[in-house]
Structure 1
Amino acid sequence: MRLAQKYIAENKPALAIPEYRAAVALDPENLDAHANLGVLFFFQGDYTDASPQLRTALKLKPDLWKTQALLGMSEKRSGQVAEARADLESAFPNLKDEKICVESGMELIELDYSANDLSRAASVVGVLRAREPENPVILYTAYRIYSELTNEAMLSLGLVAPKSAQMHMIMAHEMERQNDTSGAIEQYREAMRLNAQLPGLHYELAEALNTSADPALQSEAEAEYKAALAANHFDEKAKCRLGDIAMKHNEIKQAYEDYSGALALQPDDAEANVGLARALTFMNEKQKAIAALEHAVQEDPTNALAHYRLGLLYRQTGKTAEANQEIAKFKQYQAIREQLGKVFIEMRVHTTQSLNEMVDAKEESETQSR
């Protein structure tokens, strides 16, 4: 064992392996020898030899979560799918090491994805995103899984209820993604005709109307937001939007009441805090406005508008250094937003399979399987 550790310290794993083998031969219950031997085989890509060593170590001490994760990965890479799933699912929630957690999580996602179990894959990727929210590999994996879940749900709804209000809402969402606001409004209206009590429908129609370039359609948004609130008194977003409309009409007191009502429902909504700060500024309540904006940037550090308005208020109250910092952050996030805008414009210019084609493909596949 001392020789093996010496060779490991000298980065000579090929010399350490025979020593660990000798230790295991002399002491079959030597936990460290089995575990280290398994790890060495694993990182050499010898998964067939790694698995029995790791499995023995785990029998000797069942709470070695890292060892179990490596065992699961070895089993997966040597074709033992059922065993791999069991070990990875057991180890994954208990892993502390970030690298092993991500690697085992990604392996588990591959297993779920191959089995077409997107819901389980989504639950794993959700855990990984919480642990490493800026990891590009995890974010891309999340995009793929969530996109396929969306498509799967859309296809299923298209098959079981193609003329339902929910289907028209999905069509509206897809049109909004393609920047077809007029088409989206038509689909929301059709959904409203079929089922006006559908949760969230009034709010989503109001959002589409509010973003329309047609002033006549914009003017209809307020009534829909009010209808959304009538249907759901806890619709904080609708109340916040009513505050925006009141500000647009210079109804400062009403805007203040609407934003305050929204924040009573959701105190950490950055957008509502920004709106309240604007109303407070018009009311000459600058310190309260600053407090609201500070809360907004704390909850959403990427909110460019919050940084800009906070910078202006800091400057007006003599906080020059803080003002410069906020304006710098505003410019930073504004540049990021502009870059993202260019990316999303490029993404829209592509050919996608239409919903009808996707439904036809699904039906053809099911017909062949029958």
Structure 2
Amino acid sequence: MRIPAVVSVFLIAASVSAFSQAPTKQQQIESHSRQAQEFLRTNQPDLAVREFNSILELDPNNVDARGNLGVTLFFKGDYAKAAPHLRAAVKQRPNLWKIEALLGMSERRIGQTAAAQADLEKSFPQLQEEKLRIQAGMELIEIYYGAGNLDKAASIAGVLRQLAPTNTDVLYTAYRIYSDLVGESTLTMAMLAPKSARMHQVMAQEMARQGNTEGAIAHYREAVKLDPQLPGLRFELAEALNLSSSAADQEQVEKEYQAALSDNPFDEKAECRLGDIALRASELESALAHYTRALELQPNDAEACLGIGKTLTQMHRPAEAEPYLKRSAQLEPFNAATHYRLSLVYRAAGRTADAQKELAEFQRLKDMKERLKQVYEEMRLQPVKQERPETDIAK
């Protein structure tokens, strides 16, 4: 089996001085160490193992040779033999975090789950190398997941998502854990409070996710009847109504957003939605007031920045709109509408190259969102977060 290059990260080179007058035993140790390194370099791990063992026959307390032997055996796949050597190295030098992580992985593979969990929990926060930290985190997640400890598994998944946000293995693992948490929480709620407002809210959210807007609205309305003061409920009902094709439902949208804002005066999302409604009705001053209030409530709200930019553009104030649109693009770079609006601002300012760049980005994101839409349609699901429609995109 070929030993990966990553082995070199763990190997602890013994110091060699060509000019020192070392004892005969020390000279032998240095010779075996050089030979082991050469065997590893030429991908001869079995011969390297022999050299490390020779060092340990000469000096059983040589932590460098002990750790190197354990690492080599680990990458050979001989976890049962690797574990004692890795454990001995960690016992002699407790801050060998990479060695302890490999020890935990070895222990897991030979069925010593409790010891593996302890060693991985201790070493994982200390690891600096991204590849090893991801591997250790994934191993720890599997231990937690196997024990049904989804909360701890989710905690590690969150760390790995920040560390490697584009790693598909990490993303899938997080998806699996979060899905199980949803299922577990739903089942518990269904058993404890099957007719509660919260249960209706959960059912509404699930129906909305499946694209059943009518069913979602029905459950949201039932939840409102049971507990009209439930935090966030009126906003979610308004969101569902906003997606409905029914004229009767559309007539209720503004009232529900206003109710959401009445229940929670600090709901910047409700302010944004009221701004959207005012903007579509060409009530520009009202729209600007809503978006501005939303941005005051949450200075990092990309939708509020976009709303202000759109409104100022329609008020023929493109220079004032530009910083808000640029801020929106920074906060949410994958919103196609923001780049389209920036292209309009740059075109009005005579900045042709910048306008073309933003228009190209708009088209790229638009195409990407279309592909994502097809994926969701194949899964018969609605995106968790849907961009507000640009009804005036051609203006």
Letter in 2 for 1:96: Q
Displacement of 1:148? 0.8
Residue 100 of structure 2: which of 68, 72, 83 is its match?
Answer: 68
How does 1:249-288 map onto structure 2 within 5 Å?
Answer: 249-288=281-320
- Say whether 1:106 aligns with 2:138: yes
Distance (whole Å) between structure 2 residues aligned to residue 11 and residue 300 of structure 1: 47
- Say whether 1:33 aligns with 2:65: yes
Letter in 2 for 1:285: R
| Aligned equivalent of 1:206 | 238
Residue 329 of structure 1: which of 361, 366, 376 is its match?
Answer: 361
Counterpart contact for 2:322–2:342, Cα < 8 Å? yes
The percentage of counterpart residues that share the same residue type is: 52
Paired residue secondary structure (2:94): coil
- Say whether 1:11 aligns with 2:43: yes
Displacement of 1:177? 1.3
| Aligned equivalent of 1:357 | none
Residue 159 of structure 1: which of 191, 195, 198 is its match?
Answer: 191
Paired residue secondary structure (1:308): helix
Distance (whole Å) between structure 2 residues aligned to residue 63 and residue 264 of structure 1: 48
Rg larger in 1 or in 2?
2
- Say whether 1:239 aligns with 2:249: no
| Aligned equivalent of 2:335 | 303
Aligned residues: 349
Displacement of 1:27? 1.6
Displacement of 1:141? 0.9
Displacement of 1:231? 1.3
Q: TM-score, normalised by structure 2?
A: 0.87
| Aligned equivalent of 1:23 | 55
Displacement of 1:161? 0.3
How does 1:45-194 map onto structure 2 within 5 Å?
Answer: 45-194=77-226
Give unpaired runs (5+ residues) of structure 1.
350-370
Distance (whole Å) between structure 1 residues aligned to residue 90 and residue 352 of structure 2: 61
Distance (whole Å) between structure 2 residues aligned to residue 178 and residue 87 of structure 1: 42
Instruction: Select between 208-217 and 121-130 the one with higher mean Cα deviation.
Output: 208-217
CA-to-aligned-CA distance 1:315-349 (integer Å, 9 cap, x gap)? 11111111111111111111111111111111018
Displacement of 1:162? 0.2
RMSD of Structure 2 on Structure 1 (CA): 1.1
Distance (whole Å) between structure 1 residues aligned to residue 135 and residue 224 of structure 2: 46
Paired residue secondary structure (1:162): coil
Paired residue secondary structure (1:92): helix
Distance (whole Å) between structure 1 residues aligned to residue 291 and residue 271 of structure 2: 7
Displacement of 1:276? 0.7
Distance (whole Å) between structure 2 residues aligned to residue 187 and residue 300 of structure 1: 31
Displacement of 1:213? 0.8
Paired residue secondary structure (1:219): helix
Distance (whole Å) between structure 2 residues aligned to residue 289 and residue 31 of structure 1: 64
Paired residue secondary structure (2:131): helix
Distance (whole Å) between structure 2 residues aligned to residue 157 and residue 317 of structure 1: 56
Displacement of 1:146? 0.6
Counterpart contact for 2:45–2:76, Cα < 8 Å? no
| Aligned equivalent of 2:9 | none
CA-to-aligned-CA distance 1:261-318 (integer Å, 9 cap, x gap)? 1111111211111111011112222122111111111111111110111112111111
Q: TM-score, normalised by structure 1?
A: 0.92
Paired residue secondary structure (1:220): helix
Distance (whole Å) between structure 1 residues aligned to residue 251 and residue 349 of structure 2: 37
Distance (whole Å) between structure 1 residues aligned to residue 247 and residue 276 of structure 2: 16
Displacement of 1:215? 2.3
Distance (whole Å) between structure 1 residues aligned to residue 315 and residue 329 of structure 2: 21
CA-to-aligned-CA distance 1:115-138 (integer Å, 9 cap, x gap)? 111111111111000000000111
Letter in 2 for 1:312: L
Distance (whole Å) between structure 1 residues aligned to residue 258 and residue 105 of structure 2: 54
Letter in 2 for 1:27: D
- Say whether 1:220 aligns with 2:252: yes
Distance (whole Å) between structure 1 residues aligned to residue 297 and residue 59 of structure 2: 65
Letter in 2 for 1:135: N
CA-to-aligned-CA distance 1:133-161 (integer Å, 9 cap, x gap)? 00011111111111111011111000000
Letter in 2 for 1:80: Q
Distance (whole Å) between structure 1 residues aligned to residue 366 and residue 216 of structure 2: 28
Displacement of 1:29? 2.0
Distance (whole Å) between structure 1 residues aligned to residue 363 and residue 82 of structure 2: 52
Instruction: Select between 265-274 and 83-92 the one with higher mean Cα deviation.
Output: 265-274
Paired residue secondary structure (1:213): coil
Distance (whole Å) between structure 1 residues aligned to residue 148 and residue 41 of structure 2: 44
Displacement of 1:11? 2.3
Distance (whole Å) between structure 1 residues aligned to residue 64 and residue 358 of structure 2: 54
Letter in 1 for 2:336: A
Distance (whole Å) between structure 1 residues aligned to residue 77 and residue 42 of structure 2: 20
| Aligned equivalent of 1:368 | none
